[in-house]
Amino acid sequence: MQDIARMWDDKFSRDGYFYGFEPNVFIESQTNLLAPKGNVLCLGEGEGRNAVYLADKGFDVTALDASPIGMTKALMMAEKRGVSFKAELLDLEHWEPKQSYNAVVSSYLHLEEPLRTKAFRQAFETLKTDGYFIGEFFSINQIPRESGGPKKPSLLYTLASLESIFDIQGAKIIYLEECDVPLDEGNGHQGDALVIRVIIQKT
């Protein structure tokens, strides 16, 4: 916990919001899938851009992250916008979900295996029937690009790795693509990037 929290606290302790104030474009574009006023878990939510956006749209939002500074800034952004959400400060290594959700959203949560499979499957298991897991992550093919993302191959994603994580009972792949997209997300993500976008539904 401490290493991850320290690393992200360090990034988030700079002035401003590292990935900006606007929600991830893919997550924003899929908001229509979410049951109105449903509850949504934002996994690895950082400084809160998706959580604040979804709370403002009327969803009952819980944001989970290991970084105390990230979560504090997320709550500050929410207060400024006049919205609220629940913040859960914890390392996914020690996560024991206690609630179910209509949706789980996650942008750029880059975890090593076996934690990645454990956490994504746990997140999937929290979904109510018909609920969605919606995510955007950097592809392994992003490595040579300078528009964002980790440089360590084991932290990056492939289509096959996501297929394998969600090769479980009740998981229906609605969308799974590698896309070349222009990113304009704060100082952290700028320029054309190779990302993997995924939508899984619980049947």
Residues that bind ligand SAM (CB under 6 A): 4, 8, 19, 24, 44-46, 49, 65-67, 70, 91-93, 107-109, 111
- CB nearer ligand SAM, residue 4 or residue 174: 4
* Max CA pair span of the chain: 44
Q: CB of 170: closest distance to ligand SAM in angstroms? A: 24
- CB nearer ligand SAM, residue 46 or residue 131: 46
- CB nearer ligand SAM, residue 52 or residue 200: 52
Strand order in the sheet with 101-107: 86-89, 60-65, 39-43, 101-107, 127-138, 189-202, 171-185
Helix, strand or coil for residue 124?
Answer: helix
Q: CB of 14: closest distance to ligand SAM in angstroms? A: 13
- Helix orientation angle between 68-81 and 2-12, rounded to the nearest 10 degrees: 50
Contact between residue 120 and residue 165 where contact means Cβ atoms under 8 Å apart: yes
Q: CB of 43: closest distance to ligand SAM in angstroms? A: 8
Q: CB of 129: closest distance to ligand SAM in angstroms? A: 26
Q: CB of 24: closest distance to ligand SAM in angstroms? A: 6
Residue nearest to ligand SAM (CB): 46
- CB nearer ligand SAM, residue 93 or residue 113: 93
- CB nearer ligand SAM, residue 51 or residue 171: 51
Q: State how far the Cα of 58 lies from the Cα of 38, in Å rounded to an integer.
A: 8
| 94's tokens | 């020690």
Contact between residue 91 and residue 5 where contact means Cβ atoms under 8 Å apart: yes
